[in-house]
Amino acid sequence: MNNSVQTVQLEYQPRQAFLPFHQRTKRNSVIVAHRRAGKTYSVIQDLIARALNFQKKDSITRKLLTKPKFAYLCPYKGQAKQVAWQYLIDFTKSIPGVKKNETELWIEIPTVTGDTARIFLAGADNPDNLRGLYFDGVVLDEYGDMKPEVYSTVIRPALSDRKGWVVFMGTPKGKNDFYKRWIKAQQEPTKYFSLRLKASESGILDANEVADMRSEMEPEEVEQELECSFDAAFKGSFYGKQVTMAQSQGRFGIAEYDPLEKVSLAMDLGHSDAAVIWYWQVVNGEIRFIDYWEQSGFDAEEVCDMLALKPYDYETVWLPHDAMHRTFASKKSVMDTFLEHDLPARKVPNPDQGNRIMHGIDAVRKFLRMWNFIIDKDRCHRGIEALKNYSRKFNRASNTYGSEADHNEWSHGADAFRYAVLSIKEDDLGRSIERARERRLYQMTNRGQVNTSRYTLDEAFAAREREQALRTQSIGRAWD
């Protein structure tokens, strides 16, 4: 160990909001911060300070660990250089013996033990460049724009042998893996340090500037960019504005199940990933989404068995076009399997109309704006989140959203809802109103008479059978 230690004064005045972060002792940290909060500025200073003061010992041998390494990652290496390299240079210029390599984006600074610590800037777009390295600390900036496997398969193993720390940080963009990290931090406060900085509370930005930004931004942009809301509809969301409007109108509440009405369902098939089902009834002109199911690893036979355990009387089981495909191994399709189980399976009518999925997406937008419906907020919570977070693919090179849908954990629930909307017709609402009118008329006509529940149910079942016959005629051969 070098006994001649020189005092180094870093030119940094930490913001009050970030003091708890600098004083943290936990290995894992999550920072959710509004735009221009100074999070990059703060974490670069934190990296430098922890590198300078590195004195960690091996947990088994108790020997001092040498050659510490730290890293700051953005979604792209060029982005990391643009936002952090100058900070790194400016904040270390007063440190004697500092070395830098702008080509490879690293600096080396001496530590209090006389060793040297290296700090890298890197991009999550090429994680293979980081394989085989060890790290004593890593910052993942704008983590929501990174693929989750960058952390799980590259960064996490690189922290393991020296028990390094990690910081996940960024601004919300829907309920992606960054959101999951935030929730995990709230659930495990003994393992995680967490910090959320809202523009309305942090005091970092001038109040007049915040007010001016609010006046020029969309409400959902304010909630996401300034108030750090993971629930806000983000720019790439297909249905964000419509879901927000529906929520304000009370469309997500309690959808009561009516045992006298049949249940329809729409399904998105899962092969290597999740299968999803939306269940609904049409009751007196109102479409009620009463249930939602999502599971992975279920084949068609198992789904049929699950449906048989539900208390519902099924009217129609709507399946996507790929349910018609037969495999070489089984010689039968999903449609064949459902029909063998006496389920009233049909193919979703005209799911794309030659325009890929945009026809269906436009239909869902119109449905959410104009139709009379309610979605059960508890039983269909996962499905509501799928509608909120169903989004376009983000092009990181151009920093824009494309027109194609992003295939992720939310797309299955959104696809199944699209199939449901394409299957529901205005005639369904009219017939349900007529059934309700006949039921009220029957009750009025027989008021005061003694009727058994058996008789009332028989009448209801007879009405449903007539309805099924009419509906079958209107559907025709939609499933062929």
pLDDT digit string, tens, across residues 327-356: 655 678 999 999 999 999 999 986 555 556
Between the ranges 21-25, 59-63, 349-353, 393-397, where is the mean pLDDT highest? 21-25
What proportion of the chain, given as a percentage, has pLDDT over 90?
A: 67
Mean pLDDT, residues 380-409 = 81
Residue 457 pLDDT: 47
Residues facing residue 285 across a β-bridge: none
Q: Would you list the domain boundaries of the chain?
A: 16-226, 244-428
Residue 72 pLDDT: 98
Distance of CA 106 to the CA centre of its chain: 34
Residue 396 pLDDT: 61
Of the pLDDT bands very low, low, confident and very high (cuts 50, 70, 90), residue 450 is very low
| Residues 47-89 pLDDT 10s | 999 999 999 998 888 999 999 999 999 999 999 999 999 999 9
Which DSSP state fits 43? H
Residue 458 pLDDT: 53
- Give the integer Cα–Cα distance in Å for 479 and 451: 41
- Contact 427/474 with Cβ under 8 angstroms? yes
Residue 359 pLDDT: 86
- Give the integer Cα–Cα distance in Å for 238 and 102: 41
Residue 309 pLDDT: 94
Burial class for 35, CB neighbours closer than 10 Å (0-12, 13-18, 19+): middle
Residue 271 pLDDT: 61
Residue 471 pLDDT > 60, yes or no? no
- Contact 413/399 with Cβ under 8 angstroms? no
Local structure of 21: helix, strand or coil: helix
DSSP of 120-157: EEEETT-GGGGTT---SEEEEETGGGS-HHIIIIIIHH
Phi, psi of 338 (to 5 degrees): -65, -45
CATH for 244-428 is 3.30.420.280
Residue 369 pLDDT: 95
Amino acid in the structure at residue 50: R
CATH for 16-226 is 3.40.50.300
Residue 430 pLDDT > 50, yes or no? yes
Residue 362 pLDDT > 60, yes or no? yes
- Give the integer Cα–Cα distance in Å for 398 and 53: 39
Whole-prediction pTM value?
A: 0.68
Task: Give the least confident one: 130-139, 165-174, 466-475.
Answer: 466-475
Residue 220 pLDDT: 79
| Residues 268-318 pLDDT 10s | 986 667 899 999 999 999 999 999 999 988 889 999 999 999 999 999 999
Task: Determine the Cα angle at 267 with ends 177 and 289, to 5°.
Answer: 85
Residues facing residue 425 across a β-bridge: none
Mean pLDDT, residues 353-369 = 83
Of the pLDDT bands very low, low, confident and very high (cuts 50, 70, 90), residue 480 is very low
Residue 465 pLDDT > 80, yes or no? no
| Residues 204-217 pLDDT 10s | 999 999 999 999 98
Q: Do 16-226 and 244-428 fold alike per CATH?
A: no
Residue 456 pLDDT: 47
Residue 399 pLDDT: 59
Strand extents, DSSP E, 337-472: 345-347, 373-376, 392-395, 400-405
Residue 227 pLDDT: 94
- Give the integer Cα–Cα distance in Å for 161 and 180: 25
| Residues 181-202 pLDDT 10s | 999 999 999 999 999 999 999 9
Q: How far apart are the first and last CA of the chain?
A: 80
Burial class for 133, CB neighbours closer than 10 Å (0-12, 13-18, 19+): middle
Structure tokens at 356: 């890929």
Residue 462 pLDDT: 57
Q: Give the pairing type, strands 373-376 and 286-296.
A: parallel
In whole angstroms, how far apart are CA 467 and each of 152, 342, 345?
53, 19, 17
DSSP of 184-243: HHHH-TTTEEEEEE-HHHH--S-HHHHHHHHHHS-HHHIIIIIT--SSSPPTTBSSHHHH
